[in-house]
């Protein structure tokens, strides 16, 4: 068991934190008075490459997401494209399952589950989604990587931008923008490939045989990716993303966030490597090197406290830890921590709100799983002939006409048998067995007849049953009404 922290130490730590926060606020005011404007012109952020465990984790996850995005449209499932959203046919094929527009209720529940998942993650670890998995961040880091391999490290990029145009500068800038444009075009191609057969898309582009919507989305996604990830970058996260604005509502004092330990780091100041008497001179562990700012993709100073611009990518943690190692100091000056921990209080990982989000999230995931598992890939609709309610034939039979709409939402051709119940003596006239291709929707004319003397009421409920005959076990029943004349 850990020893309890003395009350005096907690009080001293709180006082140091209070003084540090006050100093940070004074620095903000000073910056504002020195000319910083709310609507100041954007300054380009030269992101320094960070090295550390969080950067490796984020990079691995980013490449995994990129590979999944660019490759999933090429996967085959049962001889067809595994993920294909066929808008003209109103069919959405996902790994062997076919969904139709009336299945959009499932999509609504999936989106609700994603929202609750985001709430749960935010309560637990802040904006970790933004820093590790958000498409804007993933593509921004990809474009920064391209910038690094064409223009060099941070200092070289800064010098290159200040230098006059030379042959080397022109070639490096051209190579960067060509690489950006390649990634943007590949992103647009992959996106359209989920809505248009991806294996035919390339040859059709080369043959200039594209529809207007395909051309529009290719151009739009190319431009959007090039501008958002190449030029706007952090501006999207700071000004355009609504998540940055309401995230703090979900935070509490036990939420894991990237924070700077002011009580340990203040007062900042440079010193010689290996210096051990800096505390006697009133200095903290922060050497004021600025690495935490240089590696930040949104250009904030984490030492100024928690800010809505922070995307919790933890690059500043890796940068600070690297400098602490060089100085021989303990790591963790900037770290994932909670507000309670920084103040010397006990943190609570399991708390009512977090548990509540988790329980609701698990319940919805189970419910959706059950709904999808019990879903029959068959749709049946019964439409009555509107031209006449019923008719009498020459043999004294009462006839009703219907249109049976049958949709095979499976990836395989299925055979079905039709039957009707509800009135003794009611017969089907015409085709009673039908074969429906994968993803096909058919309209089948169907007549029902019964002897007039068997009708006891002018309107009787009937049940139309569709049952597979190929061993799949699919079965569906819908109700309708049979209308006729009653013999008096």
Q: What is the pLDDT of residue 228?
A: 95
Q: What is the pLDDT of residue 66?
A: 97
| H helical segments located in 163-211 | 167-192, 198-206
Residues 6 or more apart whose Cβ sits within 8 Å of residue 342: 17, 259, 261, 263
Look up the pTM and report it: 0.79
- Of 177, 143, 126, 150, nearest in space to 45 by CA: 143
Q: Where in the chain is the domain with CATH 2.60.40.10?
A: 378-483
Q: Could you read off the pLDDT tens digit of each residue along the chain, which spans 488 residues?
A: 344 444 444 445 444 455 544 554 555 444 444 444 555 677 889 999 999 999 999 999 999 999 999 999 999 987 889 999 988 878 888 887 888 777 778 888 888 999 889 889 999 988 899 999 999 999 999 999 999 999 999 999 999 999 999 999 999 999 999 999 999 999 999 999 999 999 999 999 999 999 899 999 999 999 999 999 999 999 998 888 888 777 777 888 999 999 999 999 999 999 888 788 888 888 999 999 999 999 999 999 999 988 888 999 999 999 999 999 999 999 999 999 999 998 888 988 888 889 998 999 999 999 988 888 878 888 889 988 878 888 888 888 899 999 989 888 877 888 999 999 988 889 888 888 899 888 788 898 889 999 888 888 888 899 999 998 887 788 899 999 998 877 65
Class of domain 378-483: mainly beta
Q: What is the pLDDT of residue 487?
A: 66
CA distances from 148 to 16, 172, 227, 231, 481 (A): 39, 10, 18, 15, 71
- For residue 299 the two structure tokens come to 């250009």
Contact present, 446 and 430 (Cβ < 8 Å): yes
Q: What is the pLDDT of residue 7?
A: 46
Q: What is the pLDDT of residue 21?
A: 47
Residues 6 or more apart whose Cβ sits within 8 Å of residue 432: 417, 418, 419
């Amino acid at each position: 068991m850990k020893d309890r922290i003395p009350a005096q130490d907690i009080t001293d730590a709180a006082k140091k934190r209070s003084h540090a926060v006050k100093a940070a606020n004074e620095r903000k005011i000073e910056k504002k008075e020195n000319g910083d404007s709310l609507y100041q012109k954007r300054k380009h952020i030269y992101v320094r490459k960070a090295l550390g465990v969080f950067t490796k984790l984020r990079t691995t996850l980013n490449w995994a997401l990129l590979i999944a995005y660019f490759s999933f449209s090429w996967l085959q499932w049962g001889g067809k494209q595994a993920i294909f959203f066929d808008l003209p046919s109103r069919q959405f094929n996902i790994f062997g399952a076919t969904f139709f527009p009336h299945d959009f209720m499932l999509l609504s529940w999936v989106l609700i589950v994603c929202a609750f998942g985001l709430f749960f993650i935010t309560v637990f670890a802040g904006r970790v989604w933004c820093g590790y998995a958000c498409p804007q961040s993933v593509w921004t880091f990809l474009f920064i990587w391209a910038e690094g391999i064409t223009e060099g490290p941070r200092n070289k990029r800064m010098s290159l931008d200040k230098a006059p145009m030379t042959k080397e500068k022109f070639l490096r800038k051209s190579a960067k923008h060509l690489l950006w444009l390649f990634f943007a075009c590949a992103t647009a191609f992959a996106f359209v490939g989920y809505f248009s057969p991806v294996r035919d898309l390339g040859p059709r582009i080369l043959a200039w045989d594209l529809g207007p919507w395909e051309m529009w989305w290719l151009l739009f996604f190319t431009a959007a990716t090039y501008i958002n990830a190449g030029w706007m970058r952090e501006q999207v996260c700071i000004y355009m993303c609504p998540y940055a604005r309401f995230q703090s509502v979900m935070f509490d004092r036990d939420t894991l966030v990237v924070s700077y330990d002011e009580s340990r780091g203040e007062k900042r100041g440079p010193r010689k490597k290996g210096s051990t008497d800096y505390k006697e001179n009133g200095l903290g562990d922060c050497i004021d090197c600025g690495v935490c700012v240089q590696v930040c993709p949104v250009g904030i100073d984490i030492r100024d406290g928690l800010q809505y611009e922070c995307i919790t990518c933890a690059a500043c943690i890796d940068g600070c830890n690297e400098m602490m190692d060089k100085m021989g100091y303990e790591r963790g000056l900037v770290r994932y921590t909670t507000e309670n921990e920084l103040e010397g209080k006990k943190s609570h990982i399991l708390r009512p709100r977090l548990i509540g989000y988790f329980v609701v999230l698990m319940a919805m995931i189970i419910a959706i799983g059950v709904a999808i598992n019990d879903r029959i890939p068959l749709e049946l609709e019964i439409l009555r002939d509107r031209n006449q309610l019923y008719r009498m034939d020459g043999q004294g039979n009462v006839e009703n006409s219907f249109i049976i709409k049958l949709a095979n939402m499976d990836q395989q051709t299925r055979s079905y048998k039709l039957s009707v119940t509800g009135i003794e003596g009611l017969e089907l006239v015409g085709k009673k067995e039908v074969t429906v291709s994968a993803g096909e929707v058919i309209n089948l004319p169907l007549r029902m007849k019964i002897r007039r003397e068997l009708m006891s009421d002018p309107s009787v409920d009937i049940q139309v049953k569709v049952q597979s005959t190929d061993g799949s076990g699919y079965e569906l029943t819908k109700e309708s009404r049979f209308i006729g004349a009653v013999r008096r």
